[in-house]
Amino acid sequence: MPSLRLLRFDHAPALLAFERENRAYFAASVPDRGDTYFAGFEERHRELMAEQEAGLHFFHVLVDDEGQVLGRVNLIDVADGSAELGYRIAERAAGRGLATAAVREVCALAGAEYGLTMLRAVTTLDNPASRTVLSRTGFTSAGELLLDGRPGLSFVRPLDGGSGAG
């Protein structure tokens, strides 16, 4: 049974494998991270862990029973009781409801454990799966935008003390 865990230093090898294995899959719907992301992965992971320790972000990994990363669900730019939600699920795990379940769990954590009162998210119009996850987890559209030159939507979700219901 997959479980959601707060990102740790020792997740780095499995996280890098996840990103490499799914690079082309992710690039079809979100901007590619670029070669520098992979070349500087270890240093960037250390930086992100320090930022998480400082309370600027909350990074999560969805792992299977063998410790392989199936997905990520992150809360970034934590400030003034809000954060931006981002998530990605491995191609081999897509379509099984894992993104919806993991986002619900992170919404509950955001309110109950991290003290947040509002989450924001964005997605492109050509990513119906992401829009479905956001809709199923209680996010509502807050307007149109351009995301790396592509038409998209912004979403918001007030948090109610951690119920995670949507």
Q: pLDDT digit of tens for each residue in the chain (166 aa)?
A: 899 999 999 999 999 999 999 999 998 888 889 999 999 999 999 999 999 999 999 999 999 999 999 999 999 999 999 999 999 999 999 999 999 999 999 999 999 999 999 999 999 998 999 999 999 999 999 999 998 888 999 999 999 854 444 4
Beta-carbon count within 10 A of 90 CB: 20
- Inter-residue long-range contacts of 101-106, CB under 8 Å, 24+ positions, other chains counted: 102/2, 102/4, 102/60, 102/62, 102/71, 102/73, 103/73, 103/133, 103/134, 103/137, 104/137, 104/164, 104/165, 104/166, 105/4, 105/73, 105/164, 106/4, 106/58, 106/60, 106/73, 106/75
- State in words which class domain 3-158 has: alpha beta
According to the model, what pLDDT value does residue 161 have? 57
Is pTM beyond 0.85? Reply is yes
Domain ranges of the chain: 3-158
Q: What pLDDT is stored for residue 166 in this prediction? A: 43
Q: By the 8 A CB rule, do 83 and 60 touch?
A: no
Give Cβ neighbours of residue 47 (< 8 Å, ≥ 6 apart). none
Per the listing, tokens 């392989």 go with: 68
